[in-house]
């Protein structure tokens, strides 16, 4: 299943991040787990469910450059996505509402194993949900839990534009301990930094 669904604007004047809408609808309809993997096709800033836009995003620059702003279902701080990112999402039936962190960790472990199988080794989880190589974040993820359904989505930074990331995003209002106040450029790395053959 592929992503790329056009998104509608929400009440805040930003767009709802609906790229995995078909994935979620299919899992709800069939009761079977499914995966969606696709390169992100544009530049965009994606805010978390509870993000304060003015605290996390340099809105003047985003607006001046015509960069789309989305809000996702999952939590976490705002992120910058571009065509150098690969989105990997999974949705699956899950009883009740609880066990969020356990399910979140299982999904991260699943993705780490998949990356290792693809030849990208040395990846581990740090913070709540970052995927990391050698103390540098190479992917961020979010998790959404509804009754009977779990949804995990990760943005793998393959060949990201880190200059634009730093231009559009403020230093986050909260951060994992391992970040230690580092700037975006010092904290984040594309997978191609460690594996130059990645494109």
Q: What is the pLDDT of residue 99?
A: 82
Please give the chain's pLDDT, 199 residues, in tens: 344 434 444 434 689 999 999 999 999 999 999 999 999 999 999 999 999 999 999 999 999 999 999 999 999 999 999 999 999 999 999 987 778 889 999 999 999 999 999 999 999 999 989 999 999 999 999 999 988 899 999 999 999 999 999 999 999 999 999 999 999 999 999 999 999 998 8
Q: Rounded to two decimals, what is the model's pTM?
A: 0.90
**In a domain? residue 109:** yes
What is the predicted pLDDT for the residue at 13? 62
Residue 9 counted as domain residue: no
Is there a domain that residue 73 lies in?
yes
Would you say residue 133 lies in a domain?
A: yes
- 69 within domain boundaries: yes
Q: For residue 10, tell me if it sits in a domain.
A: no
Number of domains in the chain: 1
Q: What does the angle CA 3 – CA 9 – CA 10 come to, to the nearest 5 degrees?
A: 110
In a domain, 5, yes or no: no
Residue 101 lies in a domain: yes
The pLDDT assigned to 193 comes to 95
Domain that holds residue 24: 15-194
pLDDT of residue 166: 97
Q: What is the CATH number of the domain that holds 88?
A: 3.30.930.10
CA-nearest of 45, 55, 56 to 14 is 45
């Amino acid at each position: 299943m592929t992503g790329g669904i056009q998104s509608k604007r929400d009440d805040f004047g930003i767009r709802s991040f609906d790229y995995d809408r078909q994935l979620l609808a299919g899992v709800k309809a069939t009761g079977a787990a499914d995966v969606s993997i696709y390169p992100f096709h544009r530049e965009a800033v994606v805010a978390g469910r509870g993000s304060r836009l003015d605290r996390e995003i340099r809105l003047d620059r985003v607006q001046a450059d015509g960069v789309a702003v989305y809000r996702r279902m999952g939590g976490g701080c705002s992120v910058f996505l571009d065509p150098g990112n690969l989105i990997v999402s999974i949705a699956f039936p899950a009883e009740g509402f609880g066990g969020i962190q356990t399910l979140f960790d299982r999904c991260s472990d699943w993705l780490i194993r998949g990356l290792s199988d693809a030849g990208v080794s040395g990846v581990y989880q740090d913070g709540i949900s970052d995927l990391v190589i050698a103390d540098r974040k190479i992917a961020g993820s979010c998790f959404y839990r509804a009754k009977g359904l779990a949804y995990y989505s990760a943005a793998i930074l393959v060949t990201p534009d880190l200059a634009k990331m730093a231009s559009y995003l403020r230093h986050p209002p909260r951060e994992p301990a391992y970040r230690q106040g580092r700037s975006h450029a010092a904290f984040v790395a594309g997978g191609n930094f460690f594996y130059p053959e990645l494109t």
